[in-house]
């Protein structure tokens, strides 16, 4: 990664190409520049990969440490066939990638483009201590930054008739090429290599299925916009916004919207399209270098030494008198949040009107109920109606482990060996999960499943894993277990971090 200086004094970046293993994913990445220089983590967009940054790496890779990975489902990265493609799982892998390379030790400047926006903002929300600065290039985080075309595409989601077919229509060479040339001032300045290589990767076995899954999940990013905007307001990272105004997906208004939450950000808009670096690298590279010199040194980042305190939340907990609900209430209160316990004696959890009145004014609702006459799915339906009426954006539903799978498509609740005394409740909890997944709703729900058998009494240790998946998390001995204390901690973590929106998660050691 050292630079080469010819006799003429010309400096050329020396780029290495490597793989690193991250939780069964073989992540490909490009790296250039001195390891002790300010680090720039480059997160690519759709439908490209790290190759979109080759010219930028050649230009800046002698002075700065540049690292550009490929996500699962993109470029040269190799993911297992059963990989669950979502923006949460892409962020999970990128989080592991940063940890594997040790990039978080001194922090880095985060370059987000297109898909890199939702992936990068998830990283920032999870690890604000990693972020020395942000470079935002046509990476949207505001509703005004969504064109009618983008809104039409993001309306595709699981269960919408024809959604998958509509997504597949954009995975073709003419559309891929159009993303590069559309909105440019001079298409002759855009090399054909980018869209040609992108289409090569799109046409590999399994890649279109990965892109369909991600496209159908894109609505989860829009749901997170308010949380990301709040993160920007609270943390105020030094920010450089670079934008191609001819972007058919993310119009110029999305660039200026950042100034609402980051009034000191630099905003530069160029007469080009979505892949702005293709045409405007000579204008953009000096701005990036100047920004890195000014803001990417960890010792100069005052925010590193003074972490931002989380704002207390007002959380309504339905079922706070129960074992799990009580543990969640205690954990939330211990972290300084305001907890409102709600029980059957005061609130009919199956009545949307009563629920809306009870939870109005709260930031989130946690619900853990069970009872006869399909109370659990009826409460899920009532909550989906009540929370938007009450203006409450967030729901964490404490579900069961019976809906987890012990083999592909084989749920524990459907096994002939499932304990009869728990069967009715497990079926109700499974129905509630199905209702949440099928709902067309603005509610930012998360369904939390404990291990199917071993949710055991015990305190919080702080050492556990939380993942969006339909199979149990197992330890080195193949056992899936979690203490009540750690399960409650995982629930409150999810609330605080705003993660796993419209996902089922599970917890284990």
Q: Could you check whether the bond before residue 235 is cis, i.e. omega within 30 degrees of 0? A: no
Residue keyed to tokens 């010792």: 299
- Do 325 and 368 meet the contact criterion of CB atoms below 8 Å apart? yes
Distances (CA, A) of 53 to 60, 404, 413: 10, 40, 48
Given 219, 274, 337, 362, which residue is catalytic? 274
- Do 416 and 406 meet the contact criterion of CB atoms below 8 Å apart? no
Cα 303 to Cα 151: distance, rounded to the nearest angstrom:
35
Residues 6+ apart with CB under 8 A from 507: 448, 450, 451, 464, 465, 466, 473, 482, 486, 487, 490
Residue keyed to tokens 């199956």: 350
**DSSP bridge partners of 29:** 18, 69
Cα 237 to Cα 286: distance, rounded to the nearest angstrom:
20
Distances (CA, A) of 478 to 24, 82, 239, 453, 506: 16, 19, 45, 13, 15
Return left, alpha or beta for 440; rule: phi > 0 is left, psi -120 to 50 is alpha, else beta.
beta
Q: What is the DSSP string of 404-468?
A: SEEETTEEGGGSTTS-GGGHHHHHHHHHHHHHHHH---S-EEEEEE--SSEEE-----S--EEEE
Q: Is 51 a catalytic residue?
A: no
- Do 504 and 468 meet the contact criterion of CB atoms below 8 Å apart? yes
- Do 477 and 319 meet the contact criterion of CB atoms below 8 Å apart? no
- Structure-token pair, residue 506: 């599970």
Cα 449 to Cα 461: distance, rounded to the nearest angstrom:
19
CB atoms within 10 A of CB 172: 14
DSSP 78: B
Catalytic residues: 274
């Amino acid at each position: 990664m050292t630079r080469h200086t010819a006799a003429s004094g010309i400096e050329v970046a020396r780029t290495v190409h490597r793989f690193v293993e991250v939780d069964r994913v073989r992540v490909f990445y490009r790296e250039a520049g001195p390891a002790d220089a300010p680090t720039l983590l480059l997160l690519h967009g759709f439908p490209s990969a790290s190759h979109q940054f080759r010219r930028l790496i050649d230009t800046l890779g002698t002075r700065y440490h540049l690292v550009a990975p490929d996500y699962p489902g993109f470029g040269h990265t190799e993911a297992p066939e059963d990989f669950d493609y979502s923006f949460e799982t892409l962020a999970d892998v990128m989080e592991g990638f940063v940890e594997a390379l040790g990039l978080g030790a001194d922090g880095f400047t985060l370059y987000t483009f297109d898909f890199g926006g939702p992936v990068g903002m998830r990283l920032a929300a999870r690890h604000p201590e990693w972020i020395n600065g942000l470079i935002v290039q046509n990476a949207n985080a505001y509703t005004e930054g969504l064109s009618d075309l983008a809104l039409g595409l993001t309306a595709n989601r699981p269960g919408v008739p024809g959604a998958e077919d509509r997504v597949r229509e954009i995975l073709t060479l003419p559309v891929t090429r159009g993303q590069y040339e559309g909105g440019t001032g001079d298409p002759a300045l855009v090399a054909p290599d980018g869209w040609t290589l992108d289409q090569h990767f799109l046409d590999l076995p399994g890649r279109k299925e990965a892109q369909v899954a991600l496209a159908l999940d894109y609505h989860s990013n829009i749901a997170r916009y308010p949380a990301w905007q709040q993160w920007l307001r609270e943390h105020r990272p030094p920010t450089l916004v670079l934008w191609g105004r001819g972007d058919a997906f993310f119009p110029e208004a999305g660039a200026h919207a950042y100034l609402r939450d980051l009034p000191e950000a630099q905003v530069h808009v160029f007469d080009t399209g979505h892949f702005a670096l293709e045409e405007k690298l000579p204008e953009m590279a000096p701005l990036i270098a100047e920004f890195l010199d000014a803001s990417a040194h960890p010792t100069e980042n005052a925010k590193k030494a003074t972490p931002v305190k989380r704002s207390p939340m007002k959380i309504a907990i339905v079922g706070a008198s129960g074992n799990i609900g009580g543990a969640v209430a205690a954990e939330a209160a211990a972290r300084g949040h305001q907890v409102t316990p709600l029980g059957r004696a005061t609130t009919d959890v199956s009545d949307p009107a009563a629920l809306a009145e009870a939870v109005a004014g709260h930031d989130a609702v946690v619900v853990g109920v069970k009872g006869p006459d399909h109370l659990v799915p009826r409460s899920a339906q009532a909550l989906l109606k009540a929370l938007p009426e009450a203006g409450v954006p967030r729901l964490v539903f404490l579900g069961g482990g019976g809906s987890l799978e012990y083999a592909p498509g084989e749920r524990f609740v459907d096994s002939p060996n499932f304990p009869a005394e728990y069967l009715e409740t497990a079926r109700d909890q499974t129905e509630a999960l199905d209702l949440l997944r099928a709902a067309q709703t603005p509610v930012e729900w998360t369904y939390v499943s404990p291990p199917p058998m071993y949710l055991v009494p015990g305190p919080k240790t702080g050492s556990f894993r939380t993942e969006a998946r339909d199979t149990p998390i197992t330890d080195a001995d193949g056992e899936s277990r979690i203490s009540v204390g750690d399960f409650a901690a995982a629930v409150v973590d999810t609330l605080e971090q705003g993660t796993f929106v419209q996902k089922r998660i599970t917890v284990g050691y």
